[in-house]
Structures are given as structure tokens and as C-alpha cells.
Chain A
Amino acid sequence: MSQKDMPNTEPEHYIITPDAEPFLEKLLFSRRGLFLVFLIALTAFLAFSASQVGLDSRSEKYIPLQHQYIQNHMRHANDLSSGLNNIKIVVANKNGDIFNADYMETLRQINDEVFYIKGADRSKLKSMWTPNIRWTEVTEEGFQGGPVIPATYDGSEESINQLRENILRSGQVGRLVANDFTSTMIDVPLYETDPETGNALNPKELANALEEKIRDKYTSDSISIHIIGFPKKMADLMEGAFNVGLFFLGAIFITAILLYMYSRCIKGTLIPVICSIVAVIWQLGLLNLIGFGIDPYSMLVPFLVFAIGISHGVQIINGIAIEAGKGASREMAARLAFRGLYVPGMLALLSDAIGFLTLLFIDITVIKELAIAASIGVAVIIVTNLFLLPLLMSYVGISRSGVVHAQKVEASEPKLWKFVANFTHKKVASTAIIVAIGLAVAGVIGSQDLKIGDLDKGAPELRQDSRYNQDNAFVVDNYSTSSDVLVIMAETPREQCASYEALDAIDRLMWTMENVKGVQSAVSLVSVSKLVSKGMNEGNLKWSALSRNQNILNSSIQRAPSGMLNQDCSMVPVIIFLNDHKAETLERAVNTAAEFAAGYENNEAVQFKLASGNAGVEAATNQVIADAQTLMLIFVYIVVSALCFITFRSIRAIICIITPLALTSILCQALMAQMGIGVKVATLPVIALGVGIGVDYGIYIYSRLEALLIEGKNLHQAFFETLKTTGKAVSFTGLTLAIGVGTWIWSPIKFQADMGILLTFMFLWNMFGALLLLPALSRFVLKPEQIIAKHQAKHGEAHPAEQL
């Protein structure tokens, strides 16, 4: 994207053959009316298509579907109660405990209200007020029990006392009743598809219903409501993520102001903005045509496309202004600017697109779709900002003020650029390189604690102070429950899930896991069997063990809750509760489980498959990310190096261009480590985007520098000239891009903010690298005599600008 060669200079490099270039220009400008009409019609069509683009909230997109863990999970998906289709509503008494008639009455009302919420599976609803919550006791005659709220409950002191006793006997303390008895929970399982309409559960509708009918209605001075659960989280996430769309307006506004300051021409400001918006429309329209929707990640692409479009547009406006200043007509000025810019422009945009496509190596749909969306986005800029924009300008023309401004700039010798040009001096250059090495070393050290995965508690997608995370923290603090669950699937032959050998092996896995740091507890069918064995033996703790008698084992699991084993008794989930979902916690747990599973690899009675539960999915994602991280960096650097090589045919050029990028990558990792941002689905693509876009700065600076060197200027002169034109463009581009993505820092969604921070950092730092480090490296790496000799060998004595 960014640019570029001096507009009135023919490029040294070309895409196909030197003769092919005028052809495109002739074709485009000789029928410019026709092309314009065609492009406008196309825009109208794609605008319609873009208006149809849907918000895509499918959660499986965030999961590495090809990973073995996920495959294992999918195989048993129907048998595992994922815990994902479930909402927990906590009703807390702010002024005391739950043992009073008022609280219980409010709870009853809320319970009734929840009963009628669309999507709630009424038969499995659990709360103090549902009859399935019972107490039991062992007596001489056997088990005795009843509902926790006695049939005779009337709110009297006596029945409240009865309730208190029943709750203690029910084993619900820490589950449905808070450990401190100041709140209780309503557990609301949901239908995945509406049994009446057959539609999939709509998290947004559900969340709205919960907010309106429960939270808003019942929150008072004495009652507070806390709602957690996957659908609620998704609803909050989607709402926040798509609200970021509004930031787009802010980005447009700020960019337009900057653009005006740059061009001092209203037309020269509006046309690039319009063309860049057209690029966004095309991108969204094409996205819809290939059947993609927008998700919280690919939301980023319109921001990028807009910013990249602007930075290309501004070059063309600049070129037109200069040509117009030399007296060219509107059409001629546009045409000359086009001629000078479309080759490096296309090369840069293609290199962006190819750079983005390296993200396809990461086997996570949402990243792949981001890669495709971004590649489409930069590809359409070729048409909208390299073709459409000069066409429009050939009609509109640039204003007088713009022309004057451009001339003034060209003639001036700004102090800033004079200073920057000093980086080509030997002394300054060595200092700059030493500083860069120092930064690189500091960066490598600083990035030592770079972590994989999400590091924050609760729902890491949302900010820690979001309502959802506050509610989640309330539940975690007051109930004996963890929101981080790892599930290992114990597979047995059919009807053999309760064999002694299988259950004993599961028991050992549980204990092995409970001994891993970061594991709170483990639960499985074994827990049920032991509990029932104890119960069947009059509550004698000494019988809390697995029996070798198959009949006893079978009867001990006869009434096991669904979800503890599958339909044909061939799979038992082992549910492991973790303290948190930090990568090291997950890795420790998963590694221990995998090692244990390896010991049973060919066992006939039972085998263990990793992994389900949110922690299992996250562990798989982390593994994919960790594997992809290095691979992706290698590929992205190979691709950009290859593109540089294609363009410049010089290893020395590659060193000058790639080194600043590598420094940025290192510093970016250090920044992530220091800010506690993990490498995750959201931040991994950022690294590729940063490098892919960042390389353009170097390409353009170098390309201009080389041309001037061939002209015979010395390095300092050549770089100063480069700075005045291309350098200015590069710094403008860096700023525009940083503004475009920088607005994301204020996103309510944590990962969007992380993306914003990192991209802003990379865009700015790559800019500095190209302006400061590249000249310093040139001083030591480039050999101007060689460049000239090579040029002469190819083109004879011809001046690069006079070829053709």
C-alpha cells in the first residue's frame, strides 16, 4: 500500500513486460466514461450484496476443528452435556441470608418467570423451587427424602427452619446454594433448537429476555441478580464486538482531517475517502457473495481496507497535484499519476494479499476467514483506488490550493527530513544499528514470558470489569464451582463402561489429575458409584470405594445422572475442574492426562481420549496456535522476502527491508508479554498482518532510494530526496493505518482491544523502522556502484526515469 515512487518517474521495475504497461493505461483512459459507469454499476450491485451480509456468531468457527481433541469431542458431542447450553441465574440477598420469607417469595417469582423464558428446558430446570431438588437421608429402613422446600411450606418461621435443615441435608450447598447462604442459583438448561419452531437458539433474544424479565425487573435494594452462561457470554460478546462498527465513523472522520491537512484540497480529500469506502463496500459485498458473514475478528478488515485504500489514494492525489502543477490537464494529470503509480501499487497490494494468505496455515476457521476477507479487501483496492480513483479525478480535477500546496512541499526542504536523512551518515547509522541491536536484545529478553492463550479470569473475551465478568466472579467466589472444565472421554466397549477395570482406571486418572497443580477436583461415574456404594451401606464412609462385584457396580450407577455416561454405556466423561485457563495450567493438565492416556493406548477395557470441555477446547486451540506461531512467522517472512527478491533481485535489498520488520516483530512479542496479552486466535493474525503491511514501507522507500542512487546521487542526497516524497507518504500511511485500527483500543471486547493495540504498535513501529533503520542499514549493506553496474548491464546508459 503505501507509496511510492516519485509520480513523474517511470518505475524501474515492472510486472509482466515493460511494453504491457502503457496498454493498461490506454485501455483504461481511452474509454474512461464506460469504465466509470461500469465501476459505479458494480459498486451499486456490491453495495446491495454488502447490505445482505450477516453477522456470523457460530462458535465452532473459533475452534481448531481438525485438532485431534476437537475430533474426539465431536465424536461424542451428542453424549456430552457441553455445559454450553446452560444459563445460571444467581439471586442474591444483599441484606442478609436466604432464610426469610421475602427472599424465598422473590425467588419463587423469578423461578416462575424463568420457567416461561423461551428456550429453557423446563423439565431440567433446577432451583430451590423445583421439585427435582431433594434431600436424602439413610435410615434403618433405607433411603428417605423429599423436596427441599417442604410441601407444607408457608413462609413461617417453622417452615423456614425446616427449609434450612433440608438444604443442609440436600448436598446443594456450594452448588445451588451459596457457601455463605446469601444467594441461591437457578440452573437453566436450554434447548439447542426450539422444540416448537426448530430454530437454533438465539443467544441475543435469550439474553434480552433475561435482562428485561429477570435482571431489570427484580433488581432492587435487597436483591441483586447475576447471570452467567455461554449463550449470555456470546450475546454480550456479539453486542460489544459489532458495536465497534460505530468506531468506523470515527476512523473516517479523523482520517479525512489528516487527509485534508496533507492535500489542502476538498476534492482531493473526498475522492480518496469515497474510493476507500467503495473498497469497503466491495469487500463486504464480495464477502457476502462467497457466503461469508462478519464475525468479531473480520470486523477488523473494513478498518484495514479503508486505511490501506486511503494511503494508496493519497499517493495518486499527490501525483495528480504535482502533474497539475506542471500544467497538465485534469485528464493528463490523472493519467500520468496512474502511470507512475500503478505498478508499485499493485505489487504492494498483491504482497499484502499474499502475506495475509499465509494465515491460511492456521487451522482455525475464524482466522482463515479473516485471511480471505483481508486478501479480498486489499485486492479490491487495486481496482477502487488505483483505477477508479484516477478515473474520478480525471473528471473532477484537483483544486488550485492543492496544486500550490504540492509544489510548495516539493520545493521545501523540511528540517525533519534533513534530520532523518542523517541516518545515512556512518556515525549516526552505527548508533542507530547499535540501538536497534540493543532493542532486539531487550525485546528477546522481554518476550521470554510471552504466553500462549488467554490469560485473564472468567470470560477473557470480555473486559475484566464487564458485567458478565463481574457476575462470573460473584459465582466463582460464592459457589464451589469452576468455569474452567477439562473433560477426558473414557471409551469402553459397548455396555462395558461400568466394568471394574474401566472404572478403576478412571479412578486412577481422576486422582492423577487431582494431583496436578491447578486442578481443583475431578468428577465422573466413579464418584457416583462410590457415593452410591456408601449410601447403600448405610452411609458408612468405609464403603466409599469401587466394588469388584459387577452386580454391585451396575446397581451403583443405575441412577447416575445423565451426562455421567452415554446411551450405550461405552463412554464415560471424566470432568476435571481447573483453577483457571492459563496456558500453563491447561498444558500441565493436558500433558498429564495425555501421558496417562498413553499408558492405556491399546487397552481393551478402556481408553482415554482428550479432550472436551471449555478447557479442552482451549488447550487444543493453544496447541494449534503454538504450532502455527513459528510456522506462520517463517512463512510470512519467506513470502515477503520472496516478493522483495522478485522486485529487487538483490539480497542486500532484502536485508535492508526485512531487518526493520524483524525488529518490530520481536518488539511486538515483548510488548505482548509485558502487557499480558497472550498469543491467541485474536493476536496471531495481527503478527502476519503487521509484517505483510509493514513490508510495503520498506519496499517503497527502497525502490525510490535505488532509483535515485542509479541516477548517481550519493546515499545521503538520495535518501533526502526519497524522504521528501516517499518518506512523507510512508509517514502519512503509518498514521492513517494506526488511526484506523487504533480506535479498536476502546472496544468493549478485550481481544479487539488487544488487536488494536498490537496493530497500532506495529504500523507505527514499522514506519519508524523504514524511515530510520533502513537508511542506517543501507549505509553498511548497500553498494551503490554495484547497483549502478547491474542497472547498466541490463539497460545500458539509460537513466531509469527516461526509459520507455
Chain B
Amino acid sequence: MRTLFSVGAVLRSANRFISINILVAAFGLTAMPSMAQWQDPLDTPAMATTKAHESLLLDIVAVGERLIAVGERGHIIFSDDQGRTWRQAKVPVITTLTAVYFVNENTGWAVGHDAVVLKTEDGGLTWSKQFDGFQANEMVLNQAKKAKEFYEDELSKAMVIGSETRISLAEESLENATFALEDAQIDFEDRSTKPLLDLWFKNTREGFVIGAYGMIFKTMDGGNTWSAWSRHVENPDRFHLNSITRIDDQRLMMVGEAGLMLRSQDGGETWKQMLSPYDGSFFGVMSLAGNVQLAFGLRGNLARSDNFGLSWRLEDTHTHQTLMGATDHLGRIAYIVGNGGAFLKGIDAGQKWESQTREGRDNASAIVETASGDFVMVGESGVEILDKTGERLAVEITSIEG
């Protein structure tokens, strides 16, 4: 019995040892700094990663020798060696970014979901938030209220004058304005946001950001303050605005959902619809030398104009894949990429088209030509480097930290 007791004592002391261990473990756990709860993506800085170059990227620009690409989870990455190695910029949000634009080597903006607008003044290394969907909602709501008041006013004026056509026009406009106000109110109350899809800046002060459901905002002070601009755009159905481009100092173009084509001849002050040759969506618009404009989109459809959109003609692209992003070589040859491995080359300023299917057949969103004459393309598989014929180059693409 005595020995059994001593065995019991040994076991008990072992038990004590274990429970101390457990205590230590438990204490260690509770002593760990408790992490923050869920933070809004607009308030969460992008996570440091070396995988951004192989995840979804949506736009890319060449700024001098530097390439800058933006994509999901607030990723902004840049490369100073034609896309071989990438570094990640410091970004204050984890929102998906859809487009990027630079006016010079230092100053640029990026836009994305949640109507976020980011700005850099150091060539893309660090970014700060200037605008987001909650501000956008408020602005849209205020503008919608004003619009409704304006058309109510307009209707009562028309009633006073008694012009039937003016009354019915005012009634229709008022109806649209009422719907727009209701939608704006719902978005505002639900804190639901919409994505910005493209942007263009004239200089370091003046620019436009455009996006879903006809969203368009204008800044005159480099993005510090914005004003809602949709009242100046002829887009009563509030179709998505997908792409904006500059033709020359005064003339701009936008394309969007359901064949929407718009142009401005006064530097973006006012926008009028053009006669569209196609009902499906356009995802991009570009300008080539010799006053040629190309708009491209769903299922391989591509429209060409050589008279600033007075007339458009659909070209045969030999593909049914949706076209998403484009670049040009010296303004004469257009290169367009898109879904399902689409790779188009348009020679003679887009009059003759050659279609290729890229290896891997992945979906691509944007492409730029590099100083060395290759292409760097971004899309659902991240960065790819292509040669002139759309063949993927067997070069190693990596991300380095910091």
C-alpha cells in the first residue's frame, strides 16, 4: 500500500506539472495581443504580399521606365525592369482597384470598387485615399435631390407655359429623376457602394473618374474635392461608364454598357451620345493616329471611326471573345487583349485585324508596351510578358518585398 501511495504521489505531481503547463499555455494565449475586429476594407491597409503579381490585376500603365499595375485587394505593384520584378506600393485600402492613370512621372490616381480614389505623388510608391463610395453616395443623393427639384420646377414652368411637348418631356425627366433619387437614397441608407471603372486626368488638377450606373465625378483641385457630373452626361438610363479616353485637347470619348458611346467637345464639360453601331457593351475606347478611334467590347465586337464618332463601323476581328484592354504601337498598330486568351493585332490603324489565342486562354484586362518592345499584360493570372505576336515569353516574373 505504501508503495502504491508513493506511485500515486508521483502521478499527482506529474498531474500538477501538466496543469501548470496548461495554465502557462492558457495564460500565454490570453496574453496575446487581441487583434482588431472586422475593419472596413476602405480603412484596412493592403496586406504585404509577394503574390500580387500572380493574382487578379485589372489595369497597367507605363510611366517613363516604370510599370504600375493595380488589382484586387488594394494591390498596386510597380516594376522598373519591364515587368520582371515587382514591388508592392503602400496602399491604405484593400478594395479592388480597377484602373490607374498618371499625368506625369510622379502624380497619378487609381480608382476601384467602393468608388475609391487613391492618389500618389511619388511615382506610385505610396498612395493616399481621396474619395470613396460613402462620399459618392452623399454627392449622388444631393445631386439627385437637386435634379428632382430642377425638373419639378421645369414641369411647373412648362405647365404655366402650357406647352404639351415640354410638359411630357419634363414629366419623363422628372420620372427618371425620381427613380434616381430613390436609388440614391437606398444606396445612401444601406451604405451600398458602386465601383469606379476608369479615369482620366488632363493635368495634376483637372480630371474625371467614371464608373457603374453612370457614375461620373470631376475634380478641379487634384482630387481634393469632387463634384458629381452625371447631369452633364447624356445617359438617362444610367448605364455603366466603362472607359474614357482623350482624343485631343478639347475632345474626349467614353463608352459603356449596352452600346453606350459618348463624346465631349468641350474638355469634358458636356457629353453627348453618338450613334452606336452595336447594342452590346463596350469595355474600352482608344485613339490612334490620324484621328482614328476604336471602341471594343463584348464578343469580339469592335467599332472604328475616323471622324470623331460621327460615324462608326463594326470591323471583323475574327474572334468572339470579349475584348477588354488595349495599347498601341506608335499610334499605328493597335493591340487588344480580352477573355479566353484573345489577342488582336490591328494594322493600318485598325482596318485589318489578326486574331490569336494566347496559351493558357486566360482572361486579360489590360496591356502595355514596354521600352524593350515587349508587352506586359495583366488579368486573372496576374502579370504575363508577351512578345509582339502574343506568345508568352519564358521569363521569370517575381515579387520582392519592400
Contacts of B49 in A (CB 8 A): 511, 515
Number of interface residues, chain A, beta carbon within 8 A? 43
Q: Would you call A105 an interface residue if the criterion is a C-beta within 8 Å of the partner chain's C-beta atoms? A: no
Q: Would you call B56 an interface residue if the criterion is a C-beta within 8 Å of the partner chain's C-beta atoms? A: yes
Please judge, given known A-B contacts A511-B47, A538-B322, A541-B324, whether A642 and B37 are in contact too, CB under 8 Å.
Answer: no
1/0 per residue, CB under 8 A from B, across A157-182: the answer is 00000000000110000000000000
Contacts of A635 in B (CB 8 A): 11, 14
B72-A545 in contact (CB<8A): yes
What separation, in Å, do the CA atoms of A139 and B195 have in the docked complex? 22
1/0 per residue, CB under 8 A from B, across A489-514: the answer is 00000000000010011001001101
1/0 per residue, CB under 8 A from A, across B126-147: the answer is 0000000100000000000000
Contacts of B114 in A (CB 8 A): 548
Q: Would you call A631 an interface residue if the criterion is a C-beta within 8 Å of the partner chain's C-beta atoms? A: yes
Please judge, given known A-B contacts A539-B339, A599-B35, A599-B37, whether A544 and B72 are in contact too, CB under 8 Å.
Answer: yes
What separation, in Å, do the CA atoms of A540 and B322 have in the docked complex? 8
Contacts of B148 in A (CB 8 A): none
A168-B195 in contact (CB<8A): no
Please judge, given known A-B contacts A512-B47, A603-B38, whether A548 and B191 are in contact too, CB under 8 Å.
Answer: yes
Contacts of A138 in B (CB 8 A): 298-299, 322
Contacts of A548 in B (CB 8 A): 114, 133, 190-193
Q: Would you call A598 an interface residue if the criterion is a C-beta within 8 Å of the partner chain's C-beta atoms? A: yes
Q: Would you call B45 an interface residue if the criterion is a C-beta within 8 Å of the partner chain's C-beta atoms? A: no
Contact residue among A512, A540, A544 (Cβ-Cβ distance under 8 Å from B56)? A544
Q: Would you call B41 an interface residue if the criterion is a C-beta within 8 Å of the partner chain's C-beta atoms? A: yes
Contacts of A538 in B (CB 8 A): 280-281, 298, 322
Q: Would you call A415 an interface residue if the criterion is a C-beta within 8 Å of the partner chain's C-beta atoms? A: no
Return the chain A residue nearest B363 by Cβ.
A541
- Of residues 619 through 676 on chain A, the ones whose CB sits less than 8 Å from some CB of chain B are 631, 634-635, 638-639, 642, 645-646
A542-B47 in contact (CB<8A): no
What separation, in Å, do the CA atoms of A168 and B340 have in the docked complex? 9
Q: Would you call B165 an interface residue if the criterion is a C-beta within 8 Å of the partner chain's C-beta atoms? A: no
Contact residue among A140, A545, A600 (Cβ-Cβ distance under 8 Å from B37)? A600
- Among A540, A544, A548, residue most surrounded by chain B Cβ atoms (within 10 Å): A540
Q: Would you call A605 an interface residue if the criterion is a C-beta within 8 Å of the partner chain's C-beta atoms? A: yes
Number of interface residues, chain B, beta carbon within 8 A? 55
What separation, in Å, do the CA atoms of A634 and B10 have in the docked complex? 11
What separation, in Å, do the CA atoms of A538 and B339 have in the docked complex? 11
Contacts of B36 in A (CB 8 A): 599
B32-A638 in contact (CB<8A): no
Chain B nearest Cβ from A634, distance in angstroms: 6
What separation, in Å, do the CA atoms of A511 and B47 have in the docked complex? 9
Chain A nearest Cβ from B133, distance in angstroms: 8
Chain A nearest Cβ from B204, distance in angstroms: 26
Return the chain B residue nearest A537 by Cβ.
B240
Q: Would you call B199 an interface residue if the criterion is a C-beta within 8 Å of the partner chain's C-beta atoms? A: no
Q: Would you call B6 an interface residue if the criterion is a C-beta within 8 Å of the partner chain's C-beta atoms? A: yes
A541-B38 in contact (CB<8A): no
- Of residues 527 through 559 on chain A, the ones whose CB sits less than 8 Å from some CB of chain B are 537-545, 547-550
B363-A539 in contact (CB<8A): yes
Contacts of A537 in B (CB 8 A): 240
B37-A638 in contact (CB<8A): no
Contacts of A543 in B (CB 8 A): 195
Chain B nearest Cβ from A579, distance in angstroms: 14
What separation, in Å, do the CA atoms of A635 and B6 have in the docked complex? 14
B18-A631 in contact (CB<8A): yes
Contacts of B99 in A (CB 8 A): 542
Contacts of B56 in A (CB 8 A): 541, 544
Chain A nearest Cβ from B97, distance in angstroms: 10
Please judge, given known A-B contacts A539-B322, A631-B18, A638-B11, whether A545 and B113 are in contact too, CB under 8 Å.
Answer: yes
Chain A nearest Cβ from B362, distance in angstroms: 10
- Among A512, A537, A605, A606, residue most surrounded by chain B Cβ atoms (within 10 Å): A537
Shortest beta-carbon contacts, A-B, top 8? A599-B35, A545-B96, A549-B192, A140-B280, A642-B7, A646-B3, A542-B98, A548-B192
Q: List 30 A-B contacts (CB under 8 A).
A: A138-B322, A168-B340, A501-B38, A505-B38, A508-B94, A511-B73, A515-B47, A539-B298, A540-B322, A541-B56, A541-B58, A541-B379, A542-B99, A542-B365, A544-B72, A545-B72, A545-B113, A548-B193, A598-B32, A598-B35, A599-B34, A599-B36, A599-B37, A603-B37, A605-B38, A606-B38, A631-B18, A635-B11, A642-B3, A645-B3
Interface residues of A (CB under 8 A from B): 138-140, 168-169, 501, 504-505, 508, 511-512, 514-515, 537-545, 547-550, 595, 598-603, 605-606, 631, 634-635, 638-639, 642, 645-646
Apart from A504-B38, A541-B56, A599-B37, list 7 A-B contacts with CB within 8 A.
Answer: A511-B47, A538-B322, A541-B324, A545-B96, A548-B193, A600-B38, A606-B38
